Amino acid sequence: MLVSCSLSLSFGSHINKMKPGNETQISQFLLLGLSEEPELQPFLFGLFLSMYLVTVLGNLLIILATISDSHLHTPMYFFLSNLSFADICFVSTTVPKMLVNIQAQSRVITYAGCITQMCFFILFVVLDSLLLTAMAYDRFVAICHPLHYTVIMNSWLCGLLVLVSWIVSILYSLLQSIMALQLSFCSELKIPHFFCELNRVIHLACSYTFINDMMMNFTSVLLGGGCLAGIFYSYFKILCCMCSISSAQGMNKALSTCASHLSVVSLFYCTGVGVYLSSAATHNSLSNAAASVMYTVVTSMLNPFIYSLRNKDINRALNRFFREQK
């Protein structure tokens, strides 16, 4: 993955220059961040450092619980551990660079660094979406076909679903990154955000961006809409199955297996859609950047709490693990 993103950088680096008449090659962008007020920088540094540490620690604990406890070696927790790993990588593509810039009192990100950050951000946001779709299918099989669950959701299928999610995410991120590498930029290289977002980078270009915009919008609708359709279909079938459950105990058990996943899906998609709708409705770039914190940082931080607070299996596994370490 690292090699493929590096190859795309080297492939396109020789063709991305300033406008004709200025042969200086692009060397850096400026990330304007969330605020330009100097007195707010220490607060932002402490806030984002705290959220980053909580996110990494929380998701690492989920991974640790699923690996250490044999009772959690099931498809649901296999997908959950992969989602936790993707969330760690997702937040690590943006927050560390922001913290370094605040600490160094610098807004600079190199051209190669910007494209690389954009590449990995796209990769992990798509991976999150695909893994949530795979988890919805897992819940559908568990509730609608409980007697055949172990046969259908075997280790081969689970591994294949995760592998396909990685492959699609890598190919999509490489496609968007390579297309961005074809763009030429003018002298205005300020990005009104705290990371290199694809949409912001495209809008900075002074070359023809219609193809980039069309590809970005089409593939976003195709991937995002496809994942949402898969999740909605899975839960529609689950709802139909739940309506046929006569006992209250069976209904509560079915609800409890879906509640955490539904909460994470709602948080992920609602914040993501909300950010981009507000971006289209307002031209206040700094307020849009602040709103995107919910989508890029807060969702990854809250996922471990959603899955662990009411999950007795994970809590039991963690308690057993820490008791064994004493």
In a domain, 195, yes or no: yes
The two tokens of residue 319 are: 């308690």
Evaluate whether residue 104 is within a structural domain.
yes
Task: Give percent of the chain above pLDDT 90.
Answer: 37
Per-residue pLDDT at 7 exceeds 60: no
Contact 245, 251 (CB under 8 A): yes
Residue 25 belongs to some domain of the structure: yes
Q: List Cα–Cα distances, 33 to 40, 42, 101, 150, 311, in angstroms.
A: 11, 13, 9, 48, 37
| pLDDT of 21 | 37
Q: Which pLDDT belongs to residue 226? A: 92
Q: Is the pLDDT of residue 24 over 60?
A: no
Task: Give pLDDT tens digits for 54-84.
Answer: 999 999 999 998 998 888 899 999 999 999 9
pLDDT band at 22 (very low <50, low <70, confident <90, very high): very low
Of residues 283 and 305, the one with the higher pLDDT is 305
H-state helical runs in the chain: 2-12, 41-68, 75-92, 95-104, 111-144, 149-152, 155-181, 198-204, 210-243, 248-281, 285-293, 299-308, 312-325
Does the pLDDT at position 15 exceed 80? Answer: no
Domain that holds residue 116: 2-316
pLDDT in tens, 119-163: 999 999 999 999 999 999 999 999 888 899 999 999 999 999 999
- Give the residue among 305, 257, 321, 325 at the shortest CA–CA distance from 70: 321
Q: What is the pLDDT of residue 2?
A: 43
- Is residue 85 within 8 A of residue 57, CB to CB? The reply is no
What letter would DSSP give residue 93? T
Looking at the structure of the chain, the number of domains it has is: 1
Three-class SS of residue 197? coil
Give a yes or no: residue 63 inside a domain.
Answer: yes
Mean pLDDT of the chain: 83
Phi, psi of 206 (to 5 degrees): -105, 5
Structure tokens given for 105:
């009192």
Q: What pLDDT was estimated at residue 282?
A: 56
Among residues 298, 300, 277, 303, the alpha carbon closest in space to that of 288 is found at: 277
Residue with more model confidence, 33 or 214: 214
**Is residue 203 a part of any domain in this protein?**
yes
Place of tokens 């539904």: 262
Residue 217 is predicted with a pLDDT of 85
| Whether 128 contacts 86, CB under 8 Å | yes
pLDDT at 280: 57
Ordered DSSP codes for 61-87: HHHHHHHH-GGG-SHHHHHHHHHHHHH
- Show the tokens assigned to 90: 């997702």
Least confident of 10-19, 62-71, 271-280: 10-19
pLDDT of residue 50: 95
Distances (CA, A) of 320 to 62, 268, 269, 312, 324: 13, 31, 34, 12, 6
Quote the CA–CA distance of 80 and 245 in Å, as a whole number: 27
Residue 238 in domain: yes
322 within a domain of the structure (yes/no): no
pLDDT digits (tens, 9 = 90+) for 204-260: 888 888 888 898 888 888 898 899 999 999 999 988 888 877 666 667 766 777 888
Q: Give the CATH number for residue 214.
A: 1.20.1070.10
97-108 mean pLDDT = 90
Q: Which residue has the higher pLDDT, 145 or 26?
A: 145
For the cut 90, the answer to whether the pLDDT of residue 26 exceeds it is no
Mean pLDDT of 105-111: 88
Q: 25: helix, coil or strand?
A: strand
Q: And the tokens for 280?
A: 């289209």
Which of these ranges, 82-91, 94-103, 244-253, has the smallest mean pLDDT?
244-253
Pick from 100, 115, 107: nearest CA to 193: 107
Percent of the chain surpassing pLDDT 70: 83
Residue 227 lies in a domain: yes
Distance CA 323, CA 92 (A): 30
> Is the model's pLDDT at 52 over the cut of 90?
yes
Q: Check residue 29 and give left, alpha or beta (phi > 0: left; psi -120 to 50: alpha).
A: beta
Token duo for residue 299: 């969702």
